[in-house]
Amino acid sequence: MTTKLIMVLIFIITVSTLAQTSIKMTGENAFVKREFIQNSEKFTFAILGDKTTGGVYNWPIFDRAVKEINLLQPDFVVMVGDMIQGTIRDTSILNRMWKEFNAHAEKLDVPLYVLPGNHDISNEVMYDYWNRKIGLRYYSFLHNNSLFILLNTEEYKKTKDGEFGREQLDFVKEQLDANENVNQTFIFFHRPLWYEKDAKHGGNKEWSEIQSWIKNRDVTLFAGHWHNLEFQRIEGNRHIVLSATGGELEEKLFTELGYFHHYTLVTVDKDTSTISYIKPGSIFPEDIANENYINKFENLVKSKTNMTVMGNELKVNSDFTLNNLLDKNISYTLIVNTNDNSSWKFDNNSHAVSLLPEDMHNLNISGTSNIKNSLPFPNIEYAIIIDGEIVEIKSISFTPNNDENWRYPKKVEVIGGFDLGTTKKPQKLEELERLPISNEVSWEMDQKYISTKMDVGFVWQEAEVIDGKIALDKYFERNNFAVGYIKFIVNSDKDQRTLASLRPDNYAKLYLNGEEVLEGFPLKGVPDYPYMFYLDLKKGENSVLIKTADYFGSWYIDFNLLDSQNKIKFLINK
């Protein structure tokens, strides 16, 4: 172990014993200790965004940002949380994750200050680990007469007392009151709690308190979490959600949408500060991804798609509204993709529309097919072209309406959740080989697997289905990185082939009468659209078994069956 690393570990252990408090700003008490650059007139600092879910392939993005920050030589760097993948309880794995992050962060030539994100403190174990190994969960410091407050939005993981908690709110009020004469104030935290969707544990109410304290001050607020950039002003103060720096991100060419990797450079001079977002070769102004522009872009195309049943025929219909809300000319191309094995027919399979600013155009696309030859379903792919550059490509799939032709069981039986055998979402086929969702697993193996679980006390239990959705969270004690099963009976008045749809969160395999009919994509999360497939029902009772797996978050299955004559019945074992 190097002398530098020993000193860093001693510092971390020492700081973790301190109460949450304001600290004296020196390079020696930073997470990454470096000699501090002192300048009383003007200074700069940099901000790093989220790194999580980006995997090993995105470390070069983070490392390049670190190299460029070293060239820019700001006074210090702040990272807005989500340094490690987290979401675990095994401290040995936590040690490895932090060691990996530190190996990259140590390349900085300037001090780095960190605060917790939801991946860094995902549970009580990680909360305690942060206190022991990393340092203060929230703190403040003064630099060149500017106040910096770094907060923790994950207090509820341990205290169950709101995203911030009363103690931390009191700390914020105390720091603001004690530093009324500073030139500027910068507040950092991970989840942007000024949005209600990110404040599910009382944080929005807590944020209202902070908002009332800062409305008459010069304050700039930075958050992360979203992995896309958005700028807005609230009561005169800048509120900025930063994009990722090496985290999982699907970049879009149109930078005004805010979907690009970046780090942030803030230049402070007395009572003014300039903010720039930097990616390789480019520097962008602070309001490039402003809320108004994003809203306009998201409304350039609106569509409503539906599917109806007419006897033995399916009809799909899509209404598009193309609306140029920007100050540039826009071209749209729309293509209907059909498969040669299906019987889908459309009057026109391609459309091209050009619009001047403020122009609008309505377009209808419809087609028909015999039910028995309708798979695979068609989709509509459209592109938005601005100034000769393709800035967005999207695909729209036709999916069943939630009408009287589509039916689902009102009750099913479920069993689970069983340990999936991994603590991370699979990324490669070889990662599936030892898991129960491997494509090598057969009906017989699944039956044996269920039997072994019943031998240790698991039982089938009855579960309700609401609007076709089987919500498994309420029935299984283990929900994250778990596997479970759903079974029911389909009673048909005749031998028939019918359409079915299934949308899992995250993975599903369906057996009909012991034969595999459908397997979803185990390497992905929730599919964008339901899987559409045929069920060849025999007259009488047909057994359906659905195997499902969840990586993390909510766990559900949407299942629907086409029954335009209302003669199919659903049963469970009694």
For 274, the domain range is 3-295
Beta bridge partners of 498: 535
Average pLDDT over residues 68-85: 94
Same domain (yes/no): 546, 457: yes
Check which CATH number belongs to the domain holding 370 and give it: 2.60.40.10
Check which CATH number belongs to the domain holding 493 and give it: 2.60.120.1560
Percent of the chain, pLDDT > 70?
Answer: 94
Same domain (yes/no): 384, 267: no
Average pLDDT over residues 85-97: 93
pTM value is 0.61
Same domain (yes/no): 35, 172: yes
Question: CA-CA distance, 355 to 378, in Å (whole number)?
Answer: 26
Question: CA-CA distance, 492 to 500, in Å (whole number)?
Answer: 14
In sequence order, the 6+-apart residues with CB closer than 8 A to the CB of 36 are: 25, 26, 27, 75, 76, 111
Res 170: pLDDT: 96
**369-398 pLDDT, tens per residue?**
998 888 888 999 999 999 778 889 998 887
Same domain (yes/no): 347, 307: yes
Domains of the chain: total: 3
Across all residues in the chain, what is the average pLDDT? 89
Res 323: pLDDT: 96
Same domain (yes/no): 167, 59: yes
Average pLDDT over residues 477-496: 94
Residue with tokens 């025999």: 538
Res 283: pLDDT: 62
Question: CA-CA distance, 133 to 34, in Å (whole number)?
Answer: 19
Which of 192, 200, 197, 252 has its CA nearest to residue 225?
A: 192
Q: What is the DSSP string of 545-569?
A: EEEEEE-SS--EEEEEEE-TTS--E
Same domain (yes/no): 163, 282: yes
Same domain (yes/no): 135, 273: yes
Question: CA-CA distance, 156 to 159, in Å (whole number)?
Answer: 5
Lowest mean pLDDT segment, chosen from 83-87, 177-181, 483-487, 561-565: 561-565
Same domain (yes/no): 287, 314: no
pLDDT at 1 over 70: no
Helix (H, G, I), strand (E, B) or coil at 490: strand
Same domain (yes/no): 58, 124: yes
**120-169 pLDDT, tens per residue?**
999 999 999 999 999 999 999 999 999 999 999 999 999 888 889 999 99
Omega prior to 292 cis, within 30 of 0: no
Length of the chain: 574
Same domain (yes/no): 444, 501: yes
Average pLDDT over residues 221-231: 96
What's the DSSP call for residue 144?
Answer: T
In sequence order, the 6+-apart residues with CB closer than 8 A to the CB of 413 are: 460, 461, 462, 463, 486, 487, 488, 572, 573
Same domain (yes/no): 60, 202: yes
Helix (H, G, I), strand (E, B) or coil at 354: strand
Same domain (yes/no): 175, 104: yes
Last residue of a domain, one of 397, 430, 461: 397
